[in-house]
Amino acid sequence: MRDVLFAASDIWMVAVGFICGVKFIRGHHNYLIGLEWIIMGVSGTNFLIYGVTKAGPHSPMHHIAFFLDAFSRSIGFTLILILGLLAVTHRYKPTARVEVGAFALAAILGVLLSEFAEEIGTPGKVFFLITALAASGFLCYFAWRLWKFGERAHAAWVAGATALNVVVASVYDFWRIPGDDADHTRFYILALFTWGLAMLVIYRAYAAFAAHDERIDAGHVPVAPTTVTGVDIA
Dump pLDDT digits (tens) for 163-189.
999 999 999 988 888 888 877 889 999
Query: Is it the case that residue 44 has pLDDT exceeding 90?
Result: yes
What tens digit of pLDDT does each residue of 118-159 get?
899 999 999 999 999 999 999 999 999 999 999 999 999 999
Q: Averaged over 5-11, what is the pLDDT?
A: 94
How many residues appear in the chain? 234
Q: Identify the pLDDT of residue 231.
A: 37
| Cα atoms in the 13 Å half-sphere on the side-chain side of 227 | 2
Class of domain 2-233: mainly alpha
Q: 202, 35, 195: which is closest to 104 by C-alpha?
A: 35
Q: Identify the pLDDT of residue 155.
A: 98
What tens digit of pLDDT does each residue of 52-87 get?
887 777 788 888 999 999 999 999 999 999 999 999
Query: Is it the case that residue 90 has pLDDT exceeding 60?
Result: yes
Q: What percent of the chain has pLDDT over 70?
A: 94
**Helix, strand, coil percentages for the chain (3-state, nearest 5):** 80, 5, 20
Measure CA 3 to chain center: 24
Q: How many beta carbons lie within 10 A of that of residue 193, not counting itself?
A: 19
Query: Is it the case that residue 228 has pLDDT exceeding 50?
Result: no
Q: Averaged over 107-121, what is the pLDDT?
A: 93
Q: Identify the pLDDT of residue 225.
A: 45
Which has more pLDDT, 201 or 231? 201
Q: Identify the pLDDT of residue 60.
A: 87
Instruction: Answer yes or no: are the C-beta atoms of 113 and 132 closer than 8 Å.
Output: no
The torsion of the CA quartet 214, 140, 15, 54, rounded to 10 degrees, works out to 160
Q: Identify the pLDDT of residue 226.
A: 40
Q: Identify the pLDDT of residue 178.
A: 85
Q: Identify the pLDDT of residue 176.
A: 85
Q: Averaged over 10-27, what is the pLDDT?
A: 97
Query: Is it the case that residue 106 has pLDDT exceeding 60?
Result: yes
Instruction: Answer yes or no: are the C-beta atoms of 109 and 71 closer than 8 Å.
Output: yes
- Flag whether the pTM goes above 0.85: yes
Average per-residue pLDDT for the chain: 91
Q: Identify the pLDDT of residue 62.
A: 87
